A and B are shown apart, each in its own frame.
Chain A
Amino acid sequence: MSWVRTEMALAQPAPTSVRGPVAWVRKNLVGTVGDTILTILGIAIVAWVLPQVINWAFINAVWTGPDRTVCATAAQGGIQPEGWTGACWAFVNAKFGQFMFGTYPIEERWRPILVAILFVVLLVPMLIPRVPRKGLNAILLFLVLPIVSFFLLIGGVFGLPHVETSRWGGLLVTLSLSFVGIAVSLPLGTVLALGRRSKMPIIKTLCVIFIETVRGIPLITVLFFVSVMLPLFLPAGVTFDKFLRALIGVSLFAAAYMAEVVRGGLQAIPKGQYEGADSLGLGYWQKMGLIVLPQALKLVIPGIVNTFIGMFKDTSLVLIISMFDLLGVVKQNFSDANWATPQTARSGLVFAAFVFWLFCFGMSRYSMYTERRLDTGHKR
């Protein structure tokens, strides 16, 4: 019976027609006539746009300079040759401090920088799962850091000069609003979601009223009301800090949206999980904390991060109460006649868009990583 094989045939590599770059191109780019046309169109568009973008953003761009003349052509009163177009990064360069800190006094800017360093030092180990002592880290990040930052940024203690929040601006405002919003909205939103599903009528009613009221009013209306109407009803001289108003507004709004996201997760957990926890004799908080919430929150990570990203971008709405977040400061500086050129607005907006994209993309990638790490078989 010599024709019977006694060992398994060695696995052969797939034929070259289905692997390698050539096969990939064949399958993905020129698989059908339609694909081929789209591929050619796509390449044409990229070939047409990309050189212009690179030319504008890098090759022709002006990186440093004292005022508008470096970014304007001779006809526009500058030094560039006729027909020149390029990004005016000199504008971003000159205004960089303002874009980051607003009108925070220059000699005090080490304070927000120190806060930023502390924030990164505490945040990075928090995000890397391998690093131990998560509990201590969380306490430092969410309890100690806000208090330390508050005193460092506001000042008025330990010999630090007082800096009014009206002088804050730029990325400092964007990030502090977002950080507080995120740190407040997730726990508060979770509690509201649990409250809304509670069997106790008063708690349930209160949560429903809060969530539905806050979700029913646009944030911009509330901000506008507190900045234009509220001062008329208060005695003269009593002014609520604008930044505080924005902080409270943004946090409560994010919490209401977060509550509904978390509630979606809670509803997706099968009844059997609740009953299983009950049959083990767990109390309400044990049941929620050990069985239900870990599963529910994991399910709604995309929704949570969606809310975070939305809130991060919504911070620009504080412009309505004359607080200047990153976008607000960039736009405000367009009015500086020393930098008014055709390229100024474009360059400033591209810079702002890039910074927003950097943070939002970072959040989005990290959430995808967390989803993969926590994946326990629900993925489809």
Chain B
Amino acid sequence: MGWNGNCVHTGKKIRFCLKTEKGLWVMKHIAIGILGAATLGFMASAASATTLDTVKAKGFIQCGVSTGLAGFSAPDDKGDWQGIDADFCRAVAAAVFGDGTKVKFTPLSAKERFTALQSGEVDILSRNTTWTINRDTALGLNFIGTTYYDGQGFMINAKKLPGVNSALQLSGAAVCVQSGTTTELNLADYFKANKMEYNPVVFEKLEEVNAAYDAGRCDVYTTDQSGLYGIRLTLGSPADHVVLPEIISKEPLGPAVRQGDDQWYHIVKWTYFALLDAEELGITKANVDEMKNSASPEIKRVLGQEADTKIGTDLGVSNDWVVNIVKAVGNYGEMFDRNVGSGSPLKIARGINALWTKGGLQYAPPIR
């Protein structure tokens, strides 16, 4: 702890230090007590009514999204939220209500997001949030899976660095990075581990980093790879800029729910799995109605067409929940293409977000 190191060992000063330490100890415990009481408070009330019941009672899902991130959650011309994160909430609404429009969005800043979920202000946090152990345990959240595997990447100005096609060739480059982020720390680690030199060009605000990079003040831009594609759209000559293949950190982005409500957790988690299974089985927004009469028993089972099926009702939703999900937002692949992939201006390749059958990491347990 910081204040111990500041103690000077003269009799008077030590007394002073001890006093301060005790004061801090007391303050810390009071703070913990208050927070603990608050935590108990909302946990107790969370137990009294399940999230599914409250959601059904109010008739819509309150979904926490970002305040604007291209491809994940951003307002379109009409002011409706579009993006993978927004569509995921629509999918959950479709599973619960059979209607993907029964969702209301709350834009949340990075600082507000966890409080908003803990306090019950939102029912799902679908806000490009990295899944970490600390958030899963200490913060009282439950991540339901990874809807987008992201990671920190590099974009280079190919005119200034001709012939570079790997991050390992970046020794001595000037790198634009946002200060005070994990991005900055990952960058330092990576260059140190590979025994390379670099010249950091650091800014407080993302807009400043973008402007500096566009003006040529640095050769390399580093942030999450999905962000690099969005930034490339705002550059003067995007063709000169190349996103390098290396990913130097793991940023699994996924939706989270409150801890302590297994039913809601399962509904949200299996909505995600249903999106993946639908893609694997070739069920799309266009063919979902024909697929109901498919000869394949697996497809019929997933779509709730099996006789006496209880898959949906056991989950707490209707048996045609997968049909509703796919009708509302399509399968995972369609959702990806529309928002960040080939059907969007971002044009991000599927990469590790492809299904496991196509060499990616997206894998869902079977619905049976």
Contacts and interface: CB of A to CB of B under 8 A. Distances in A.
Interface string B232-249: 011111110000000000
B78 A340 contact: no
Interface centre among B106, B108, B119 (most CB of A within 10 A): B119
B115 A103 contact: no
A98 B233 contact: no
Contact of A103 (B38, B67, B75): B75
Interface stretch (A146-154, A209-217, A309-317, A326-334): A326-334
B250 to A, nearest CB: 24
A94 interface: yes
A164 B115 CA distance: 20
Contact of B207 (A97, A102, A236, A345): A345
Interface residues of A, number: 42
Contact of A232 (B115, B237, B238, B344): B115
A342 interface: yes
B45 A235 contact: yes
A276 interface: no
B217 to A, nearest CB: 16
Interface in A54-82: 68, 75-77
Contact of B119 (A68, A77, A234, A334): A234
Interface string B108-122: 110110011011110
Given A98-B75, A322-B109, A237 B45 contact: yes
Nearest to B73: A335
Interface string B58-73: 0000000001111100
A341 B345 CA distance: 11
B312 interface: no
B237 A76 contact: yes
Interface residues of B, number: 48
Given A322-B112, A333-B68, A338-B76, A236 B233 contact: no
A10 interface: no
B106 A166 contact: yes
B68 A331 contact: yes
Contacts of A106: 78-79
A239 interface: yes
Contacts of B107: 322, 324, 332
A222 to B, nearest CB: 15
B186 to A, nearest CB: 23
Contacts of B76: 336, 338
A232 B38 contact: yes
Interface centre among A97, A102, A106, A341 (most CB of B within 10 A): A341
A239 B121 contact: yes
Contacts of A76: 233, 235-238
Contacts of B108: 322
A103 B79 contact: yes
Interface centre among B79, B119, B236 (most CB of A within 10 A): B79
B304 to A, nearest CB: 33
A324 B71 CA distance: 20
A75 B230 contact: no
Contacts of B87: none
Contacts of A77: 233, 238, 345
Contacts of B112: 227-228, 321-322
A233 interface: yes
A166 B63 CA distance: 13
Interface string A156-199: 00000000101000000000000000000000000000000000
A320 interface: yes
A161 to B, nearest CB: 14
A2 to B, nearest CB: 84
Interface in B211-232: 214, 230
Interface string A234-254: 111101000000000000000
Interface of B: 34-35, 38-39, 41-42, 45-46, 54, 67-71, 74-80, 82, 104, 106-109, 111-112, 115-116, 118-121, 207, 214, 230, 233-239, 344-346
14 contacts: A68-B345, A229-B115, A232-B38, A232-B39, A235-B42, A236-B45, A322-B106, A332-B68, A336-B74, A336-B77, A337-B74, A340-B234, A342-B214, A342-B236
Given A94-B77, A335-B68, A342-B234, 7 more contacts: A236-B42, A320-B109, A322-B108, A333-B68, A335-B70, A337-B70, A344-B234
What are the 9 closest A-B residue pairs judged by CB atoms, nearest first? A335-B68, A231-B119, A340-B233, A103-B79, A337-B70, A335-B74, A236-B45, A236-B120, A332-B68
